[in-house]
Chain A
Amino acid sequence: MIAEAGLAALWLAAALALLQLGVALAGPRVGDVRSIAVPAAVAQGFLTLFAFAALIALFVRTDLSVQLVAANSHSLKPFIYRFSGAWGNHEGSMLLWVTVLAVAGAALALLERRLPAETIRATLGAQAALALGFFGFLLIASNPFARLYPAPAEGQGLNPLLQDPGLAFHPPTLYLGYVGLSVAFSLAVGALITRDVGPALARAMRPWVLGAWVLLTLGITAGSYWAYYELGWGGWWFWDPVENASLMPWLAATALLHSVNVLAARGGLRAWTIMLAVVAFSMSMVGTFLVRSGILTSVHSFAVDPRRGTFILGLLVLYVGGALALFAWRVGTVREGARFKLVSREGALVANNLLLSVILGTVFVGTLYPIFVEAVAGEKISVGPPYFNAVSGPIVLLLALLLFIGPLLNWRVDRRPNLRRVALPLGVALLALLATILSGASMSLLARLGLATAAGLAVASFLPLVGRSLRRAPLATWGMVISHLGVAVAIAGAACDTAFTRETLTAVRPGETAIVGPWTVRFVGVDPVAGPNWTAVEGHLRATRGDRSERFDPQSRAFSDPPTETSEAAIRTFADGQLYTVLGRQESDGRWQLRLWWKPFVTLIWLGGFLIALGGAVAMLGRLWREWRQRVRAREAWA
Chain B
Amino acid sequence: MTASPKNQRLLLVAAAIVALIGATLLAMWGLSGKAAYFRTPQDIAAGRADIGQPLRLGGMVKAGSVQKQPDGVSIRFVVTDGPADVPVLFRGIVPDLFKERGGVVAEGRLQKGGVFVADNILAKHDERYMPPQMGNLQAEQKTRETVQK
Residues of chain A having any CB pair with chain B under 8 Å: 67, 70-71, 148, 152, 156, 159, 161, 232, 269, 271-272, 297-299, 301-302, 304, 336-342, 350, 354-355, 357-362, 365-366, 369-370, 379-384, 386-388, 390-391, 505-507, 562-567, 582, 584-585, 587-589, 591, 593, 595
Contact = CB atoms under 8 A, between A and B. Distances in A.
Contacts of A505: 73, 91-93
B30 A339 contact: no
Closest 8 A-B residue pairs measured CB to CB? A507-B72, A361-B23, A380-B38, A584-B93, A365-B27, A336-B5, A299-B125, A387-B34
Contacts of B136: 304
Contact of B36 (A152, A362, A382): A382
Contacts, number: 152
A390 B30 contact: yes
B5 A358 contact: no
A297 B131 CA distance: 10
B63 interface: no
B93 A595 contact: yes
A299 B97 CA distance: 12
B26 interface: yes
Nearest to A302: B126
Contacts of A350: 12, 15
A582 to B, nearest CB: 7
Contacts of B58: 380
Interface stretch (B77-85, B109-117, B140-148): B140-148
Contacts of A585: 93-94
A297 B129 contact: yes
Contact of A339 (B4, B15, B56, B72): B4
A99 B87 CA distance: 49
Contacts of B34: 383-384, 386-387, 390
B91 A387 contact: no
A304 B140 contact: yes
Given A357-B16, A362-B30, A380-B37, A70 B5 contact: no
Interface of B: 1-6, 8-9, 12, 15-16, 19-20, 22-24, 26-27, 29-31, 34-39, 54, 56, 58, 68, 71-73, 91-94, 96-97, 107, 124-127, 129, 136, 140, 143, 146-149
Given A161-B125, A381-B36, A391-B27, A67 B93 contact: no
18 contacts: A159-B127, A271-B9, A297-B129, A354-B15, A358-B19, A358-B26, A361-B19, A362-B23, A362-B26, A366-B31, A384-B36, A391-B30, A507-B71, A507-B73, A564-B127, A584-B73, A585-B93, A593-B93
A564 B128 CA distance: 11
A221 to B, nearest CB: 21
Contacts of B4: 339
Give the dominant DSSP class at B's interface: mixed
Contacts of A304: 136, 140
A358 B25 CA distance: 10
Contacts of B39: 380
Contact of A587 (B56, B68, B146, B149): B68
Nearest to B3: A339
Nearest to A503: B92
A358 B149 contact: no
Contacts of A382: 35-38, 56
A71 B147 contact: yes
A304 B136 CA distance: 8
A342 B8 CA distance: 10
Given A360-B23, A382-B36, 7 more contacts: A152-B149, A156-B147, A272-B16, A339-B3, A370-B35, A380-B39, A563-B127
A333 B19 CA distance: 25
A336 B12 CA distance: 12
Given A152-B149, A272-B12, A336-B5, A357 B23 contact: yes
Nearest to A294: B136
A383 B93 contact: no
Interface centre among A355, A382, A567 (most CB of B within 10 A): A382
Contact of B35 (A340, A381, A562): A381
